[in-house]
């Protein structure tokens, strides 16, 4: 059998160095882009609460630097192979090259499995662009609008009052306002899920009588009647 040499560097195929076609593994990786990793990715980032948008959903992103890495990890973990020899891949490292900002350069390192069970690594440099935006929750909160009001009346036990404060802090992104009233407070919330979580926590520490009703608050842009959920909560002795 005639000796085989790498068509690019001339390395002899001694049986220890993997070959892909007519190239040694090192030259094959050097000359070919194995994965179709984009040079730029971008996402919407809420400048008020730090949420980032994934498709039609807004999820918690944290500080800008955290959101950049989180989005880049999600976007770059699922790319297409650029070569038919690729059998699988895994994103093994992702780190910023520049100081995280609205335009951040990151380096992504992949472990790639090639035909014949040969393993290789390849790095890509990607610019991650964060677009300053405002999520629906913050848009609603800054406009003073809300969809649910929890009318809490009566005196809470000390432990329940403490847990209420903790829960309101945890749900701060969903809390539009807390208004003091005679005998209690009105808690203005964006949605029903936040109200459910709040009531579920209060039920652990106090006996409550809860009544649900609604009120008309105008019409939508399509002319449909808009209703607000009113939850009347009485603390029982």
Judge if 28 and 120 occupy the same domain. yes
Both tokens assigned to 163: 């847990």
At residue 176, the pLDDT reads 81
| Range with lowest mean pLDDT among 42-46, 106-110, 140-144 | 140-144
* Cα 121 from Cα 109, distance rounded (Å): 7
Share of the chain above pLDDT 90, in %: 55
At residue 182, the pLDDT reads 83
The count of other CB atoms within 10 Å of the CB of residue 204 is: 9
* Cα 63 from Cα 52, distance rounded (Å): 10
At residue 228, the pLDDT reads 87
* Beta-carbon contacts of residue 232 (< 8 Å; ≥ 6 apart): 151, 153, 210, 211, 212, 213
Examine residue 5 and state whether it is found in any structural domain, yes or no: no
- Nearest Cα neighbor of 124 from 72, 87, 160, 83 is 72
pLDDT band at 198 (very low <50, low <70, confident <90, very high): very high
Judge if 28 and 115 occupy the same domain. yes
At residue 222, the pLDDT reads 64
Q: Determine the structural domain holding residue 119 and report its residue range.
A: 19-133
Residue 1 has pLDDT above 60, yes or no: no
- Nearest Cα neighbor of 122 from 133, 140, 107, 103 is 107
At residue 200, the pLDDT reads 93
Could you say which of 109, 133, 157 is where a domain stops? Answer: 133
Residue 107 has pLDDT above 80, yes or no: yes
Examine residue 4 and state whether it is found in any structural domain, yes or no: no
Both tokens assigned to 227: 């209703």
Residues listed for the chain:
237
At residue 134, the pLDDT reads 82
Judge if 33 and 125 occupy the same domain. yes
Examine residue 6 and state whether it is found in any structural domain, yes or no: no
Which is more confident, 217 or 45? 45
At residue 10, the pLDDT reads 87
Tokens 């994103």 label which residue?
91
- Nearest Cα neighbor of 150 from 177, 130, 128, 127 is 177
pLDDT band at 114 (very low <50, low <70, confident <90, very high): very high
Residue 227 has pLDDT above 90, yes or no: no
| Average pLDDT in the chain | 89
Domain count, the chain: 2
Residue 11 CA: distances (Å) to CA of 6, 29, 118, 185: 5, 15, 18, 79
Judge if 86 and 109 occupy the same domain. yes
Residue 221 has pLDDT above 60, yes or no: no
pLDDT band at 124 (very low <50, low <70, confident <90, very high): very high
Examine residue 110 and state whether it is found in any structural domain, yes or no: yes
Residue 189 has pLDDT above 60, yes or no: yes
């Amino acid at each position: 059998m005639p000796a085989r040499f790498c068509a690019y560097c001339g390395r002899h195929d001694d049986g220890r160095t993997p070959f892909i076609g007519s190239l040694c593994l090192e030259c094959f990786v050097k000359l070919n882009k194995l994965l179709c990793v984009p040079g730029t990715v971008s996402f919407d980032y809420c400048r008020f609460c730090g949420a980032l948008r994934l498709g039609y959903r807004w999820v918690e992103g944290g500080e800008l630097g955290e959101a950049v890495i989180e989005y880049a990890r999600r976007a770059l973990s699922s790319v297409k192979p650029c070569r038919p020899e690729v059998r699988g891949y895994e994103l093994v490292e992702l780190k910023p090259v520049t100081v995280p900002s609205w335009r951040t350069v990151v380096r992504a390192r992949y472990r790639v499995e090639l035909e014949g069970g040969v393993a290789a690594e390849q790095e890509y440099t990607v610019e991650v662009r964060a677009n300053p935006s405002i999520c629906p929750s913050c848009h609603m909160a800054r406009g003073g609008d809300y969809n649910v009001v929890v009318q809490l009346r009566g005196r809470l036990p000390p432990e329940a009052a403490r847990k209420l404060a903790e829960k309101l802090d945890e749900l701060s992104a969903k809390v539009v306002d807390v208004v003091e009233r005679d005998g209690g407070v009105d808690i203005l919330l964006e949605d029903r899920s936040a109200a459910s979580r709040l009531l579920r926590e209060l039920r652990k520490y106090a006996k409550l009588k809860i009544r649900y009703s609604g009120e008309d608050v105008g019409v939508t842009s399509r002319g449909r009647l808009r209703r607000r959920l009113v939850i009347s909560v009485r603390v029982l002795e």
